[in-house]
Structure formats: C-alpha cells, structure tokens
Amino acid sequence: MKAGKPVRTYGQGRGPAIAWWGNPAARALIWQALLAIAVISLFVWAGRNVVTNLRASHITWGFGFLAEPASFDITGSLIPFRAGDSYGRALMAGFGNTLTASLTAIVIATALGFVVGVARLSNNALVARSASAYVEVLRNTPLLLQLLVWYNVVLKALPGPRQSIALPGGLLLNNRGLYGPWPVESPGWNAVGAGLLTALGLCIGLAAWSARRRREGKAALTLWAIAPAVLICLPLAAAWLTAGSLVGALPVTWPELRGFNVGGGVTLLPEFVALVLGLSLYTSAFIAEIVRSGVQAVPKGQREAGRALGLGEGPILRLIVIPQALRLIIPPLTGQYLNLTKNSSLAVAIGYPDLVSIGAGPVLQNTGQALEVISLIMLIYLGLSLLTALLMNWWNARMALAER
C-alpha cells in the first residue's frame, strides 16, 4: 500500500471507528470459514489415510472386479445367477431379492397395519385389547429375534420333502419351501403377458376418463364390473388368437418329488417367507399406531357434521375421516417404508440372499474390494430410500389440503 492513501475504516464519520474484528458480520464470516476449513481438512485427512493404508496393504482401488466371473451360486433369486456369471450380476441378483422382499412386506405391512390400527379404535373391548397386545408385543421386541423365531417356526412346523403337504391347486408345502405350478415359456404365455399389460393400461385410462366425467357431473363408469372383465378376457383372447386354440397353448410345470427334493414349478423359499413375515408383522405394529393417531387426530366435529348431513358411517369414514387422516398418516408412513427396506438387510441372519448378504459375503470376500463393495451397497440403499421418499412425497402433495 502506498503511503499517503487514506486508511479505510468502518463506520466512517458515524461515531468512533470499529476495528474489522469488531464487526459481527466479519466475525461470523471468519468463524464459518474456519469451520469449513476444519471440515474439509477432516475429509482430506481421512482420504489420505485411506490412500496410504490401501497402498500399504497393496490393494488397488477400482470397480473392474464387477465384470469378473464369480464362482459361487445363489438359490432362489428373481434374477437368475449361476457360478460363472459376473460379480456385478451377483450384486444385481441380491438387489432384486432385497426389492422383492421389501415390496412384498410393504404391501402386507400396510394392509395389516390399517386393519390393526382401526381395530384399536373399535368399541368392542376384545378387539381393541387384542389389537393393543399385538402392537405392544411386536413393537417392543427386537426384529432380529422375531426373524429367527419365524424362521425356526417355519422350519420346525413343516415336514420334510418326502412328506410334503399337498394343498389345493397343485401346491406342495414342506420345510424346503412352498411349491406351485409355473408357466413354461411359450407363444401363448407371451401373448397373455402382452394382453395383461394392454388391459392394465386400458383400465388406468378408463379410470382417469371416469374420474373426469364424475368431475364434470356426468355419470361415472361402473369400473368394478368393467375392470375385471377387461383384465381376464383380453389376455385370454390374445392367447387364443396367437395359438389358434386355448387347449395346450398355456403349458405349465407342476411341482413333483424328484430325487431328494421337489422339482419343477416355482418355489417360495422358507427364508423368504420368514423374512417377509417378520418384516411385515414388525412394521405393521408401527403402521397401526400411525393409523390410529391419524384417525384420532381428525376432529370429532367432522364426524358429527357428516352425521348432521345424513351420511351413514361408511361414507363418513370413506369421504370425511380417511382423506383427512391420510394427510397425517403419509409422512410418518414414508419413514416406516424406509425403515422396512433398510431392515430387510437382517436377511443375512436367516440365509436369504439379499443385497447385503451377497455383497458383504462372497463378493467382498473373494475380491477383497471392501471399500468399493460397501460404498456401492450404501449408494444402492440411499438411491432406493430417496426414490421411496420421492414417491411418497408426491402422494403426500396430492393428498395435502388444497388451500384456495
């Protein structure tokens, strides 16, 4: 700085000059900068440690291992996996299993939770008390313990494969799983699949059209009668047109005893059943409480107003109470869905090949790429959770009170 230039001070001409460190804004800025430096340094330090330690143990960082062939097998994954497929595919198979188990459990937990939650509010003391007992027992014991109990119940209660219980519809039940008939890949079944998709699209379109007509004050469609007819007839018609006749167009494999075990058909593993059972019962207890509190939070006056208008109990619940309760239920419900998805990683304890069990098991063990595998698993769970939250937020926004 050249001599003779005026020194700039704060608060010129208005009272005594304040030094820059006396200025609250400048001080806040300095503290923030220091904190930022500290946080960044922490990350740099951790990163450098990782690099040094990896180098010291001669481990090379990278995701190239995902394309390499793995030499282990996975039973009962939705995405088929055999020894010789890549590690990446193994992770995909695990992810597919996590998704299947979580989605199934979410549907069951929600249905059960709504029923139990409403039951807790019942005027019938027996129903209300039973629902309370259900909630308290399931909510207050560790999930891992419940999973182990269910798994052992499933294994112990069922007979071996040679004494399988034959259920109606060609189903076989034993301690290796629940076996059922399954379609064999054929032009007929492909046509059924295509027909089903078309029918679904058609039904959604009809529902939207019907809703618009209702808003416009015109008569709505009797969807409950039309939808099932479309969903059944369209696929069958497609199969008939493709194969020329329905007889023999839809081949099916039936489960039967072959050697040690039941072969053919499709299998629901006992591990899957125990996991879905454990997860959905545990989470349903929490959902029941959310539903109960949501319904109770709707002011009593709303029901009374409904009665004053001459509505019956059914319409009051359907048109007045539930829409208002949903606004309170959806946000905490999202949290439960996220918990359930993450809790599904306890599958490792009962031998269900989910993402963590496959990833942290054979994939990590045989490649040694611990950091990569674990961060990949974390990213997948994070992505799944964010997606769930996004969908639920969208639903929440639709349900939220529209203020005009």
Partner 1 sequence: MKRAPVLMAMTCGVIAAAANGAPASAGVLDQVKQRGELICGSNPGLAGFGVPDDKGKWTGFDVDYCRAISAAIFGDPDKVKYVPLTAKDRFTALQTGEIDVLVRNTTWTMTGDTAVGASFTSINFYDQQAFMVRARLGVKSALELNGAEICVQRGTTNELNLADFFRAHKMDYKPVAFGSAAETVRAYDAHRCDVFTSDSSALYAERLRMTNPAENIVLPERISREPFAAAVRKGDGQWFDVVRWVGFGLVAAEEAGITKANVEEKRASDNPELRRMLGVDGKLGSGIGLPNEWLVNIVRAVGNYGEIYERNLGENSRLKIPRGQNNLWNKGGLMYAPPIR
Footprint of partner 1 (CB under 8 A):
31, 34-35, 37-38, 41-42, 44-45, 48-49, 52-53, 56-59, 71-76, 83-84, 152, 155-156, 160, 175-176, 258-261, 263, 270-271, 348-351, 353, 357, 360-362, 364-370
Closer residue to partner 1 in complex, CB, 334/357: 357
Closer residue to partner 1 in complex, CB, 83/121: 83
- The three-class DSSP label of residue 105 is helix
| CB 259 to partner 1: min, Å | 4
Q: Is the dihedral of CA 353, 358, 362, 365 positive or negative?
A: negative
| CB 141 to partner 1: min, Å | 19
Neighbours of 402 (CB within 10 A): 7
Closer residue to partner 1 in complex, CB, 188/270: 270
Closer residue to partner 1 in complex, CB, 107/153: 153
**Rounded distance, CA 51 to CA 33, Å?**
27
Closer residue to partner 1 in complex, CB, 317/348: 348
Closer residue to partner 1 in complex, CB, 350/384: 350
Q: Both tokens of residue 208?
A: 């939207």
For residue 110, the 8-state DSSP code is: H
| CB 243 to partner 1: min, Å | 31
Instruction: Kindly state the helix (H) or strand (E) to which residue 209 belongs, with its residue range.
Output: helix 187-215
**141, 109, 391, 147: which is closest to 274 by C-alpha?**
147
| CB 58 to partner 1: min, Å | 5
Which amino acid belongs to residue 108? I
| CB 370 to partner 1: min, Å | 5
| CB 210 to partner 1: min, Å | 48
Cα 379 from chain centroid? 15
Neighbours of 83 (CB within 10 A): 11
Q: What does residue 244 show for φ and ψ, rounded to 5 degrees?
A: 85, -30
Residues 239 and 192 sit within 8 Å (Cβ to Cβ): yes
For residue 362, the 8-state DSSP code is: I
Closer residue to partner 1 in complex, CB, 326/350: 350
| CB 123 to partner 1: min, Å | 44
